Structure 1
């Protein structure tokens, strides 16, 4: 299948963003110190972190499955989630992990609005969980951490987007298409609004998945610390809870390939004020990026071994647009 020009252009922009971020990192920081950091990591530790990372994604896939009201079999949800992980990190020009995951779920469920609402709701819950963790880290630091203004600003934006998406969008969509029924995609917009409204009427589910998301992200922070300590990054745990979620939120901006380069530079800038060395932070961050890419490759192997393919997993146009 030919790669659409629009998707190829988006991939090229993100690749250029990652290349620029990595070039700046290796221009301003001593390459020898970064490479030396890799030599301090042992294979047993790296592989152990990879296994724990995959277990965290099993829990993440289950969380998404709950948001879909368990409407598809759990094995299908797991397969779709790891296919999305592969697409998000490995495939140039893919619509994104969320769209591929939604496409596989839609092939089983045939309920586009429900799948789209679960995908967007899952993404927003993860971002809110990250914002809560970074604010908690700031509290543990006594409220005097560096870049606290940035933390409050980013968290405020995340909370506002989550509230708007889950609670305000249904009313806005119904109002717009009710007043101007001739607007395009009326049926889809109203069905998506109904799906979001259904999520909003289940506060206990939203709270449970938010707590689960924060717990999963906390384990991921601990795994990052496990990788960083041998490399030579020694900062308070509170600093990790402040900086790691904030760097991950920044890395979700569509300016790089899976956050490559942006995540590492952001994390270094946030941890240096707490006594970390920037080369060591970058080395541990690139090792973490290796975990992400290996997990994506394993997701692709899982999809192929189960008889599927990312071409077959492509979502219908309407689902892709909503999921992005």
Structure 2
């Protein structure tokens, strides 16, 4: 685990993946396509990406109703820095939990809320991905499509099983970790079970997750169309689902390399030119960097540890 966290490993992984892409894709052509992206479209897609974080904030508020949506939104924007520089989306979740915890009266409850938020978001993402695959499997390689379907179904079943797992089984899991960590894990799992035991909370969180992921898919499809990538919306649901799952792996810097390899591989199997796919990856990275820059500005101008009390 310590090996995976090493910055040196992440740097070499990023460089290696980019070198692999460079063997098959013309970087100059891809950058040229990116630069040709209409400025107004680029701005609109970026603005929508920020607005989607507002939906994410209200999704979190379902689990932490004592919080205000605006501070949660600011924390969500600041967490983009950690997503880029540290452990990917996992790093962003850790940052969100850290900034939300002060003044909450229960660290385990906040950590559980962030984890549950991520879990229901993944359920929504996988559901949309599977729906898209069922509607447009012909747009993907005959071997790739069933493989993706199996992996998505397996992950969805695993997540749903984990959400409804009984307390006795959760206690067995916590028994495998050191006593000090085991108590924290047990308290966090207990808080997650409180959230999942409420059908209203569970369904509302999943519904907000579907709205969040749905807008993200439409936004990426729009960005792709601006770059000359013409795919059905259902196919985009599969692509974004696969990319989002891959980016959960904290093995490269800001997902650079991982995103590129995944997009080029998936889109090229659908007949999209590799240079267009790489240009899309660069554009998505650019949006992420803009969001991280805004988050850095908020971090410098504000004291995010006070956000949770607002």
Asked if 2 retains the 8 angstrom alpha-carbon contact of 1:240 and 1:271, the reply is: no
- Any conservation in 2 of the 1:173–1:189 contact (CA below 8 Å)? no
Query: Aligned to 2:210, which of 208, 214, 222?
Result: 214
Q: Distance in 2 between matches of 1:176 and 1:142?
A: 37
Distance 1:210 1:160, change over 3 A: same
The aligned counterpart of 1:172 is: 169
Shift of 1:144: 7.2
| Counterpart Cα distance in 1 of 2:126 and 2:173 | 31
Question: What's the counterpart of residue 317 of structure 1?
Answer: none
Measured after TM superposition, the shift of residue 25 of structure 1 is 1.2
| Displacement over 6 Å in runs of 4+ | 92-95
Secondary structure, aligned partner of 1:153: helix
Shift of 1:197: 1.3
- Is the 1:231–1:284 contact (alpha carbons within 8 Å) kept by the matching residues of 2? yes
Q: Which of 102, 107, 113 is the aligned partner of 1:112?
A: 107
Give the corresponding residue for 1:82. Answer: 77
Residue 63 (structure 1) aligned with residue 35 (structure 2): no
Aligned residue-pair number: 304
Measured in 2, the distance between the counterparts of 1:92 and 1:277 equals: 30
1:21 aligns with 2:2: no
Q: 1:264 aligns with which of 260, 270, 286?
A: 260
Residue 147 of structure 2 is matched in structure 1 by 150
RMSD of aligned C-alpha atoms?
2.9
TM-score, normalising length from structure 1?
0.83
Correspondence list, 1:286-301, <5 A: 286-301=282-297
- Structure 1 regions of 5+ residues with no counterpart? 1-5, 314-324
Q: Distance in 2 between matches of 1:125 and 1:94?
A: 15
Q: Distance in 2 between matches of 1:120 and 1:224?
A: 25
Structure 1 residues 261, 94: CA separation in 2 closer, same or farther (over 3 Å shift)? closer
More deviation, 137-146/85-94: 85-94
Unaligned residue ranges in structure 2 (runs of 5+): none
Whether 2:198 is the aligned partner of 1:225: answer: no
Deviates more, 1:225-234 or 1:108-117: 225-234
In terms of mean alpha carbon deviation, does 53-62 or 70-79 score higher? 70-79
Pick which of 50-59 and 226-235 moved more: 226-235
Q: 1:284 to 1:165 in 2, by over 3 A?
A: same
Q: For 1:170 and 1:34, how far apart are their aligned partners in 2?
A: 51
Alignment partner, residue 132 of structure 2: 137
Alpha-carbon distance in 2 for matches of 1:298, 1:88: 13
- Distance in 1 between the 2:82 and 2:3 partners? 13
Give me the TM-score of the superposition, normalised by structure 2: 0.87
Deviation at 1:11, TM superposition (A): 3.0
Deviations 1:52-76 (A, max 9, x none): 10000111122122123x1333333
